Amino acid sequence: RKEVEQDPGPFNVPEGATVAFNCTYSNSASQSFFWYRQDCRKEPKLLMSVYSSGNEDGRFTAQLNRASQYISLLIRDSKLSDSATYLCVASNNAGNMLTFGGGTRLMVKP
């Protein structure tokens, strides 16, 4: 079993749609969680950290459920520019090593 698992997709959605991705992690002692975005043949870029109480950044909302060991990302009012692969990331016990999920591909169509 992978340490961080994501549905690879692709998720094909129309512009303006709301889309949600889930991710599960196996290390119950993971301390920190992040969502990264990776465009084709580019480097991953930090999208947002994920806090226990949930957090929002514009159209993006991240949630953490420690009991069920899953993380979610909600994107509202999808834009064409949101098309990318979204990587779910969990840290180790100490929080200084990150494990990346395989990514979920999102394609927003006009």
Report the interface residues with other proteins, using CB under 8 A.
31-32, 34, 41-46, 49, 87, 91, 94-103
Nearest distance, CB of residue 90 and other proteins, angstroms: 12
Other CB atoms within 10 A of residue 54 CB: 13
- d(CA 22, CA 13) in angstroms, rounded, equals 16
Closer of 53 and 110 to other proteins (Cβ)? 53
Nearest distance, CB of residue 47 and other proteins, angstroms: 10
Nearest distance, CB of residue 10 and other proteins, angstroms: 13
Q: 3-state SS string over 30-42?
A: CCCEEEEEECCCC
